[in-house]
Amino acid sequence: MLNNINYLIFTLFNIGKLPASGTFGSIFTIIFYFVFYNFFSNLIFVIIIIGVLLYSLFFLQKILSNFSKDDPKEIVIDEFIGQLIPLIICDGNLLLILLSFISFRFFDILKIYPANIFDKKIKGPIGIIGDDIIAGIYSFIIIYVIKLYLWLIKKLLKN
């Protein structure tokens, strides 16, 4: 029973079975963010990220034996964790949300150092989730820089 529940959680309710499962996992995360944005503070989203991360690190290993690959495409909880990282600073802004999606997918697909190390050399839950956390952090930085730039432009235009 717990294996079935974990399978549903780690595949984001079978989204992982779709083609381009990582992209659909990110889209699911954006929908989740939209649904709960007006109800949760950024702190709650951070707590969700940490909670899902800890849950995944503990329980993901238990279901990996059901798959033939080290990083099965069906497992998309890592996309949920990684995509939610930049969303916490998007403030519900549609343009920033779109940019966070594009930048997260870009970094997740390219696996720029050190994400490539997590992807290729580290096995198990840490390797599966680690590269997406790195992609999420890179995307977070992009969104932060864009927000800083927009804030500076706004300040300069006021003067």
- pLDDT reading at 8 higher than 70: yes
Contact 104/83 with Cβ under 8 angstroms? yes
- Whole-number percent of the chain with pLDDT over 70: 98
pLDDT band at residue 1 under the 50/70/90 scheme: low
**What are 116-138's pLDDT values in tens digits?**
898 888 888 899 999 999 999 99
pLDDT for position 141: 97
The domain spans of the chain are 2-158
Q: Stretch 87-102: mean pLDDT, rounded?
A: 95
SS (H, E, C) the chain: CHHHHHHHHHCCCCHHHCCCHHHHHHHHHHHHHHHHCCCCCHHHHHHHHHHHHHHHHHHHHHHHCCCCCCCCCCCCHHHHHHHHHHHCCCCCCHHHHHHHHHHHHHHHHHCCCCHHHHHHHCCHHHHHHHHHHHHHHHHHHHHHHHHHHHHHHHHHHHC
pLDDT tens digit sequence for 60-77: 888 887 777 777 788 999
Looking up tokens 């990282």, which residue turns up?
Answer: 85
Instruction: Grade residue 2 by pLDDT with cuts at 50, 70 and 90.
Output: low
How far is residue 87's CA from residue 143's CA, in Å, rounded to a whole number? 9
Axis crossing angle, helix 94-110 with helix 21-36, rounded to the nearest 10: 150
